[in-house]
Amino acid sequence: MLYEEIMPIFHTVAVDVFANHALQKLLEHGPHYYQREFTNRLIGHVLALSLHMYGCWVIQKAFEVGELDQKVQMAKYSEVCS
* 37-67 pLDDT tens trace: 999 999 889 999 999 999 999 999 999 999 9
pTM score, two decimals?
A: 0.87
DSSP 82: -
- As for how many domains the chain has, the answer is 1
User: Domain range spanning residue 18?
Assistant: 2-81
Q: Distance between CA atoms of 55 and 20, rounded to whole angstroms?
A: 7
Q: Distance between CA atoms of 78 and 26, rounded to whole angstroms?
A: 23
User: If you average pLDDT over every residue of the chain, what do you get?
Assistant: 90
Q: Distance between CA atoms of 17 and 70, rounded to whole angstroms?
A: 25
Helices 55-65 and 19-29 sit at what angle, rounded to 10 degrees?
Answer: 0
* 16-29 pLDDT tens trace: 999 999 999 999 99
